[in-house]
Structure 1
Amino acid sequence: MNGIVKSIDAIVRSTLLLTISLSFVGGCSLYQYGPSSLYRSDIRTVHVPIVRNETFRHDLGPRLSLAIVTEIESRTPFKVVSDPAADSTLLVVLTSENKNVLTETSSDDPRALDATLTARADWVSRRGEKLFQNTVTPQSGSVISFSQDSRFVPEAGQSIDTAMQATIEKLAQRIVSQMELRW
Structure 2
Amino acid sequence: MVLPMKKPNSACGSKSFLMVLFASLIGFVCPACMQDGHLKIFRYTTKTNFDSNIRTVRVPLFKNNTFTPGGGAGQGLENELTLAVIREIESKTPYKVVNGNTPADTELTGNIVNFSKNIINRNQLNEIREAETNLAVQIVWKDLRTGDILSRPKADLNKGTPVALGGNPNVQPDTTPVLVTSLTSFIPELGQSITSARKTNVDVLATQIVAMMEIPW
TM-score scaled to structure 1, two decimals? 0.78
Structure-2 residue corresponding to 1:104: 122
Question: Please, which of 128, 138, 154 is the counterpart of residue 162 of structure 2?
Answer: 138
- Contiguous gaps of at least 5 residues in structure 2: 1-26, 39-44, 68-73, 154-160, 164-172
Higher relative contact order (CA 8 A, sep 6+): 1
* Corresponding letter in the other structure for 1:76: T
Equivalent residues of 2:108, 2:141 under 8 A apart: yes
Residue 76 of structure 1 pairs with residue 82 of structure 2? no
Equivalent residues of 1:69, 1:80 under 8 A apart: yes
Q: Once the 2 structures are TM-superposed, how far is the Cα of residue 153 of structure 1 from its aligned partner?
A: 0.8
Structure-2 residue corresponding to 1:168: 202
Equivalent residues of 2:152, 2:178 under 8 A apart: no
Aligned-partner Cα distance in 1 for 2:118–2:50 = 36
* Corresponding letter in the other structure for 2:193: S
Identity %: 32
Aligned-partner Cα distance in 2 for 1:124–1:179 = 11
* Corresponding letter in the other structure for 1:45: T
Structure ranking higher in helix proportion = 1
Structure-2 residue corresponding to 1:10: none
Structure-2 residue corresponding to 1:124: 142
The DSSP-based 3-state class of the residue aligned with 1:138 is strand
Q: What is the aligned residue count?
A: 158
Aligned-partner Cα distance in 1 for 2:207–2:46 = 19
Aligned-partner Cα distance in 1 for 2:211–2:47 = 12
- CA displacement, residues 48-87 of structure 1 (integer Å, 9 cap, x when unaligned): 0011110122210000001000100010111111145200
Find runs of 4+ consecutive structure 1 residues off by over 6 angstroms: none
TM-score scaled to structure 2, two decimals? 0.66
* Corresponding letter in the other structure for 2:35: S
Structure-1 residue corresponding to 2:213: 179
Q: Once the 2 structures are TM-superposed, how far is the Cα of residue 107 of structure 1 from its aligned partner?
A: 2.9
- Contiguous gaps of at least 5 residues in structure 1: 1-19
Structure-1 residue corresponding to 2:77: 60
Structure-1 residue corresponding to 2:7: none
Q: Once the 2 structures are TM-superposed, how far is the Cα of residue 172 of structure 1 from its aligned partner?
A: 0.5
User: Higher Cα Rg: structure 1 or 2?
Assistant: 2
Moved more, 164-173 or 51-60: 51-60
Aligned-partner Cα distance in 2 for 1:145–1:92 = 10
* Corresponding letter in the other structure for 2:162: P
What CA RMSD, in Å, does the superposition of the two structures yield over aligned residues?
2.3
Structure-2 residue corresponding to 1:16: none
